[in-house]
Amino acid sequence: MFVIRPVAINLPALQFTVSDQAILQAVNLTKIYRSGDRDLAVLDDVSFDIEQKATCAIVGPSGSGKTTLLGLCAGLDVPSSGEVKLNGNSFKGLSEDERAALRNREVGFVFQNFQLLTNLTTLENVMIPLELRGERGAEKRAKDLLDRVGLNERLDHFPVQLSGGEQQRVALARAFINQPKILFADEPTGNLDGDTSQRVIDLIFSMNEELGTALVLVTHDLDLAEKTERVIRLHSGKVQADSNAVIA
């Protein structure tokens, strides 16, 4: 595997990226949890890069550290050691708010349990990422995206009024509204049945394609993993195998 390492210049007030190759870089990530007086290494020296527009699946047995890894990559958590760079910007040393801002700019999320705000309508849920940064025109974009996922009739419905598949499609629209460079999905079909899953998966891949977003997908589903260009297999917190387009 050959990757051109990007050269990032970090100046105190100014951060910009020279490389346009790797959107996500995980460098020697280690995550250790203390339980009692024992240290538990959930992730142990994990490194990989994800290029722009690439698709990648993270697979592995339950408890192998997939979700932990995803959390670190998205800047939701801080590694015990190692570093994550998003689009060349390191999470290292950033405050909670700065990490949130970086996420807001670069990252889209899809979760197993959808994570829609239950008191907000479909439309309002989708607009949040843009509204959080005080951007105008959120409504227009949100409507376009909801149209794209086939829910333009359900703008004023609340999550409880939608089926699981529909909720996940709303989540997808929300994930793409800020035109992220990378989409993280943790078991996006884990709570859906076969047919519904298929529809959501198709949407994820096609929208990814259209918008030129990189995709990092955590899944148990090997069929799903097959659809990605690359599979990273975790075992006990270590990268056991990492291949482009593994054919099982």
Ligand X SMILES: Nc1ncnc2c1ncn2[C@@H]1O[C@H](COP(=O)(O)OP(=O)(O)OP(=O)(O)O)[C@@H](O)[C@H]1O
- Can you give the binding site for Mg ion, defined by CB under 5 A? 67
**If binding means CB under 8 A, how many residues of this protein chain bind another protein?**
35
Within 8 A by CB and 6+ apart from 234, the residues are 46, 58, 59, 60, 64, 65, 66, 69, 240
Whichever of 96 and 195 has its CB closer to another protein, that residue is: 96
Q: How many CA atoms lie within 13 A of 52 on its CB side?
A: 13
* CB contact at 8 A, 169 and 197: no
Task: Tell me if 35 contacts ligand X by CB under 6 A.
Answer: yes
Site for another protein in 121-140 (CB under 8 A): 121, 124, 128-129, 131-134
Q: Which does 35 bind (CB under 5 to 8 A by kind): ligand X, Mg ion, another protein, none?
A: ligand X
Tokens 């889209």: give the residue: 108
**If binding means CB under 6 A, how many residues of this protein chain bind ligand X?**
12
Whichever of 55 and 68 has its CB closer to another protein, that residue is: 68
Q: How far is the CB of 221 from ligand X (least distance, A)?
A: 11
* CB contact at 8 A, 9 and 18: yes
Burial-class residue 72 by CB neighbours within 10 Å (0-12, 13-18, 19+). Answer: buried
Whichever of 177 and 239 has its CB closer to ligand X, that residue is: 239
The Cα 180–Cα 183 span in angstroms is 7
Helices (H), 189-245: 194-211, 222-226
Q: Which does 42 bind (CB under 5 to 8 A by kind): Mg ion, another protein, ligand X, none?
A: ligand X
Interface residue with ligand X among 9, 63, 147, 209 (CB under 6 A) is 63
Interface residue with ligand X among 42, 116, 142, 171 (CB under 6 A) is 42
Query: In DSSP terms, which residues pair with 183 in a beta bridge?
Result: 108, 215
What is the sign, positive or negative, of the torsion defined by CA atoms of 117, 199, 209, 235?
positive
Q: Tell me, what DSSP letter sits at residue 160?
A: G
User: Of 67-75, 80-88, 188-196, 223-231, which segment contacts another protein by CB under 8 A?
Assistant: 67-75
The Cα 19–Cα 104 span in angstroms is 21
Residue 171 tokens, joined: 């989540």
Site for another protein in 159-218 (CB under 8 A): 160, 174, 178, 186
Q: How far is the CB of 239 from ligand X (least distance, A)?
A: 13
Task: Tell me if 155 contacts another protein by CB under 8 A.
Answer: no
Q: Greatest CA separation found in the chain? A: 55
What is the contact surface with ligand X in residues (CB under 6 A)? 33, 35, 40, 42, 60, 62-68
What is the contact surface with another protein in residues (CB under 8 A)? 67, 70-71, 74, 76-77, 96-98, 100-101, 103-105, 107, 109, 111, 115-121, 124, 128-129, 131-134, 160, 174, 178, 186
